[in-house]
Amino acid sequence: EDHLARVRAEYEHMLHELEFHLEEAPPATCRRLMAQGRSFYPYYLAYQDLNDAPLQARLGGALHQAMLTAHPELMGEVNHPSTDGRPRIGFVSNQFYSHTIWQAITRGWLTGLAERGFACFGYAPANKRNDACTALSRSHCVSFHEGERSFTEWARLIRAMGLRLEQ
C-alpha cells in the first residue's frame, strides 16, 4: 500500500508538471508532445483497483489543451451529419485482434453499439495483426481504416468521416 501511494503521488506530480508546462507551451512544443501521445497511456493505473477517473480526466484535459494549441484546425464542430440518422462513433485502437483489450473492452463496445444501431467507424493506426477478431471488427464498422499514417493524417481522416476529436 505504501508503494502504491508513492507511485500514484509521483504520477499526480508528473500530471501537475505537464499541466504547468502546457499552460504557456508554444504550438511547436505541443506538436512534439502530440507526436509522443502513445507514450502517455498510464497502463498500470487500471491494475491498482482505485478510482482513476480524476487522474485520467486531468491527463485527458492536458492532452486536449495541447491538441488545441498544436492543431487548432482539427478541433471544433464537424458539419457532417449522419446521412442515415444513426449516431456515429469511432473506435481508435491498436488492438483490433485477439488481445486482452479487444476481449475485455473493445469487442463489447463495438459489437454492442453496432447491434443497437450506431454507425461505427474503426481506426487501427498500428494494428500489426489480422485475425478473426479483426474481421469481426471490420464487419461491424461502416468503414475500417488501418495502416501507417502520421498523427495529423489520422486526425484528418477521422474528421473527414464526420467524427470530431474529443477527450
Nearest to 74 by CA among 45, 103, 133, 31: 31
- Mean pLDDT, the chain, rounded, equals 86
Instruction: Summarize pLDDT for 88-142 with one digit per residue, the tens.
Output: 899 999 889 999 989 999 999 999 999 999 999 999 988 778 999 999 999 999 9
What would the pLDDT profile of 16-51 be if each residue is shown by its tens digit?
Answer: 998 998 888 999 888 888 777 666 678 788 888 899
Nearest residue to 58 via CA among 43, 44, 42, 46: 42
Among residues 56, 60, 63, 61, which one has the least CA distance to residue 32?
Answer: 63
Encode pLDDT of 141-164 as tens digits. Answer: 999 999 888 878 888 888 888 775
